[in-house]
Structure 1
Amino acid sequence: MLNFLPIAYFENEFIAFDNAKISIATHALHYGTAAFGGMRGIPNPQNSKEILLFRLDRHCQRLSQSAKFLNHDLPAAKIQQIIIDFVKKNKPSASFYIRPLVYTSGLGIAPRLHKIEKDFFVYGLEMGDYMSPDGISCRISSWYRQEDRSFPLRGKISAAYITSALAKTEAVESGFDEAILMNSQGKVCEGTGMNLFIVRNGQLITPGFDQDILEGITRDSILTLAKNLGIPTLERPIDKTELFIADEVFLSGTAAKITPVKKIETFHLSEQRPITEKLRDKLLAITENKDPEYQDWVYSISL
């Protein structure tokens, strides 16, 4: 059962979540003309009267950039202030997830982005582990990731997630936890809502932006942490066969955090994951504001 936070931001005001409703004729519902973000928040383990948000500024910046693909100007500073006010009004007492979304709110029929109203809402829900921290199984999806030449992959656009939904259901209904999508060049791309990393011979490898991946904020954080920890990193195309012989594989994202992969198709991966565990422990310490070196990644809100 989903436990939604009681207050939402909707149509320029804070109202009860249960009262935040849209029309069945809403343009975004029919055409996927929306962009969203997602960020985690936790009560500070050292101070229950304080909420910690991970990389709030980057999340707001990415959503503001995504809004541009919808022909809409939504400043990052405005998004950030609304989210801060949202947290203060809800006063969450457990780990939670925030979903801000910008969308075409007009009731028009024609698929367009000009001369149609836009709006912005924020809601949240309590969330623990999105995936098993002990490791998951993956299959290679029969569905392929979109190409940037035909879809604005630099934005987190809602319409793109039909591919993720198809791939996720295909994976689960065939006995796996998650799907790995390839791109149109036949290279490894990402999961249904996560970036992908492999480890080979002590080197951390992940597909670059030229592989039609989402510009993940957790991905960016992991690359920064790895370099600072002295772990060699490389952004390059990854072949499917490399997944099967990798020393470690993990997925990363706001919801997934760092989730190890223990099986891909019929290939079982090693249960020894030193680099994955090192990065996961470091990221956890940062999100709990226990690492002074990365305090600028954590935004504190006093309740």
Structure 2
Amino acid sequence: MAVGTDIRTYFNGEWHDGDVPVMRAADHGAWLGSSVFDGARAVNGLTPDLRAHCERVNRSARALMLTPTVDTDAMVSLIHEGLAAYPDDAAVYIRPMYWGIDGGPGAIAPAAETTGFAVCLEAIPFTAEATTTLTTTQFRRPVLESAVVNAKAGCLYPNNARMLREAQSKGFGNALAADAMGNVAESATANVFIVKDGTVMTPIANGTFLAGITRARHMANLAADGTPVVETVLSFDDVRDADEVFLSGNMSKVQAVTAFDDRHYQVGPVTKRVREMYWDWAASADGAA
């Protein structure tokens, strides 16, 4: 089921209008979960870090033992070709995808030489000043020894989905998840930052979660602005004690957190500054590269 509207699909070498079927019943990705994707955004004619997202989906494919079939330059070009059908002020979610087609020896591993590829563009509104609330969850982020956490793989997301369902059943918008050691990892959908006494902190990238492209962009922008981010081990009490909390992900870029269980926060000056710097960068020559 589609999330957005006004969908365009690139498949089999051409663009199609609508939500086009791309996967067959016997495709490896359909029954054994060998699929990867990435998510970028087009907002008001800007496509921040599109190249980095295209590079990452190819890395994710290799991590799932799939052979990527579209190089970065070609992928960026065809995405811009697809976006040309939308109005300049459209907010579009950009999703390149790979999946396994044939099974290798023993069927469980995909055959590396047969890989499906598609790009889905969906018009999904962008909320410039998005906020959410957080709660804890019983479910944790896995480690590399038990899951393909070094890829943006579709098979990881049912775990995130049950985190979200648990949080929503408690009346919150999102879940703050622990890593295997019990320290803060990320939310069910995005990386997390906290601010305490002017210091910006984020969980150290320990391999249990995807340290995102937008996360890295915020860290670079903050460093250039004279506020380097401290990557460290964070406890849930650190989050409760924070002055500001915000999430960093592709869908909203910066999402202020207004509550963590019964702890409430204001949308603070650092969160507002991070959002301002992000869009200033996106509109710059560097952001357009």
Aligned to 1:15: 16
Cα offset, 1:225, TM superposition: 0.7
Give the alignment partner of residue 64 of structure 1, picking from 36, 55, 58. 58
Cα offset, 1:272, TM superposition: 5.1
Give unpaired runs (5+ residues) of structure 2: none
In 2: Cα distance, 1:280 partner to 1:121 partner: 31
When residues 15 and 182 of structure 1 are mapped into structure 2, their CA distance, relative to the original with a 3 A threshold, is same
TM-score, normalization by structure 1 = 0.86
In 2: Cα distance, 1:272 partner to 1:253 partner: 17
Q: Is the 8 A contact 2:91 2:126 kept in 1?
A: no
**Over residues 4-29 of structure 1, what are the superposed CA-to-partner deviations in whole Å (9 max), with x where a residue is unaligned?**
33431012322232443432333212
**Over residues 155-213 of structure 1, what are the superposed CA-to-partner deviations in whole Å (9 max), with x where a residue is unaligned?**
11111111111101111121100011100000000111200001111111011221522
Give the alignment partner of residue 230 of structure 1, picking from 226, 247, 260. 226
Residue type matched to 2:48 in 1?
F
Cα offset, 1:298, TM superposition: 2.1
When residues 134 and 253 of structure 1 are mapped into structure 2, their CA distance, relative to the original with a 3 A threshold, is closer
When residues 198 and 19 of structure 1 are mapped into structure 2, their CA distance, relative to the original with a 3 A threshold, is closer
In 2: Cα distance, 1:161 partner to 1:147 partner: 14
Aligned to 1:141: 137
**Over residues 15-71 of structure 1, what are the superposed CA-to-partner deviations in whole Å (9 max), with x where a residue is unaligned?**
23244343233321222211100111023xxxxxxx321111111111111111232
Q: Is the 8 A contact 2:257 2:267 kept in 1?
A: no
Cα offset, 1:88, TM superposition: 2.7
When residues 55 and 134 of structure 1 are mapped into structure 2, their CA distance, relative to the original with a 3 A threshold, is closer
**Over residues 187-244 of structure 1, what are the superposed CA-to-partner deviations in whole Å (9 max), with x where a residue is unaligned?**
0001112000011111110112215221201100000011111113210110111111
Q: Is the 8 A contact 2:219 2:228 kept in 1?
A: no
In 2: Cα distance, 1:247 partner to 1:203 partner: 10
Give the alignment partner of residue 206 of structure 1, picking from 202, 208, 231. 202
Q: Aligned residues, how many?
A: 285
Residue type matched to 2:202 in 1?
T
Q: Is the 8 A contact 1:5 1:123 kept in 2?
A: no
Matched, 1:119 2:109: no
Aligned to 1:47: none
Partner-residue secondary structure (3-state), 2:230: strand
Partner-residue secondary structure (3-state), 2:47: strand
Q: Residues 39-188 of structure 1 correspond to what in structure 2 (within 5 A)?
A: 39-43=40-44, 51-71=45-65, 72-74=67-69, 75-90=71-86, 93-106=89-102, 110-114=107-111, 117-129=114-126, 133=129, 135-188=131-184
Percent sequence identity is 25
Q: Residues 282-301 of structure 1 correspond to what in structure 2 (within 5 A)?
A: 282-287=277-282, 289=283, 292=284, 295-299=285-289
Higher mean alpha-carbon deviation, 17-26 vs 225-234, is at 17-26
Moved over 4 A (4+): 89-93
Partner-residue secondary structure (3-state), 1:296: helix
Partner-residue secondary structure (3-state), 1:41: strand
In 2: Cα distance, 1:235 partner to 1:196 partner: 11
Give the alignment partner of residue 263 of structure 1, picking from 259, 275, 285. 259
TM-score, normalization by structure 2 = 0.90
Residue type matched to 2:59 in 1?
Q
